[in-house]
Chains A and B, each alone.
Chain A
Amino acid sequence: MGNFSSVADFLQMGTHGLYVWLSYAIALIIFIYNIVSAYWLKRQFFINAKRRLRREQGTV
């Protein structure tokens, strides 16, 4: 597997497994945070907008 002799070797990353995997985990979390927060904004907007639109149409 690439530069590594085994999956265990890959997971250990020499002696640097903790550092490498911690970095990639942080990157993943920040990526997910960006996606989820953008999605959340969209969801909130449409929930509020639909409610507002219904109210406006109801009063007309």
Chain B
Amino acid sequence: MNIKMPRWFYQLASPKWFYEFTGALLPWFSAAAIILLLIGTVWGLVFAPADYQQGNSFRIIYIHVPSSILAQSCYMMMAVAGAIGLIWRMKIAHVVAGACAPIGASIAVMSLATGAIWGKPTWGAWWVWDARLTAMLVLLFLYIGVIALNSAFDNKASADKATAVLSLVGLVNIPIIKYSVEWWNTLHQPATFTVTEKPAMPPEMWMPLLVMVLGFYCFFAVVLMSRARIEVLEREKRSDWVKRVIQAY
């Protein structure tokens, strides 16, 4: 396939340019992540009002919802990056996809664990084989599958291709997670944020949640860039610019 893309797209494909660009972005995203997560946590834990039905257990939402959103966004990013890598044979895209997998898996664990802990006082059970919960568990298994498949090859190029294909196939799970609360009878409550409607919660509840979601995304960006940068150095270690980076370190 040969689709003409804008210049920045090809610049992004240059490992050296990618390394320098993400190096300039990192401090900003780190600062934003720290500030947003601190504000969101204090706001959500201390100042947001308790839920009239769930009491204070509802404060788990400030971790559970951002981690669930991020676990899914991270998966989509991994699949899209894998597709870009397959179509344009862009190595950087594969590097980014590979960096997504371990982060996404850990965030999916966070989503499932906090969901289970929230379920106990709210539903009376840590786990139910509900559509939403099961689909989320499948997401975690997909991440683990991608990590396992990626490490099963000696050849990096083959590993890149195989994991890109697997993550694209697993993409079918994302709409299933999203619509599971509508398609099936479920214990799980519907989405807090939708594009078309105002949140059902009052602003003093959803505003800290929005701050936390943004904080989670910034944190993700920081870890993703850090991991991808090292992988770029690893893959380009024979080149002169990487040798200069190593000597300067």
Q: Chain A: interface secondary structure? A: helix
In the complex, what distance in Å separates the CA atom of A30 from the CA atom of B105? 10
Q: Which of A5-48 contact B (CB under 8 A)?
A: 10, 13-17, 19-20, 22-24, 26-27, 30-31, 33-35, 37-39, 41-42, 45-46
Which of A1, A13, A19, A42 has the most CB atoms of chain B within a 10 A radius of its CB?
A19
* A34 engages B46 (CB within 8 Å): no
A2 at the interface (CB under 8 A from B): yes
Q: Which residue of A lies closest to B56 (CB)?
A: A13
Contact-residue bracket for chain A = 20 to 34
B-to-A contact residues, CB < 8 Å: 41, 45-50, 55-57, 59-60, 63-64, 67, 102-103, 106-107, 109-110, 113-114, 117-118, 120-121, 219, 223, 226-227, 229-230, 233-234, 237, 242-243, 246-247, 249
Contacts A20-B45, A53-B246 supplied; 14 other A-B pairs, CB < 8 Å: A2-B47, A13-B57, A15-B121, A23-B113, A26-B114, A27-B67, A30-B107, A38-B223, A39-B226, A41-B227, A41-B230, A42-B230, A49-B237, A50-B249
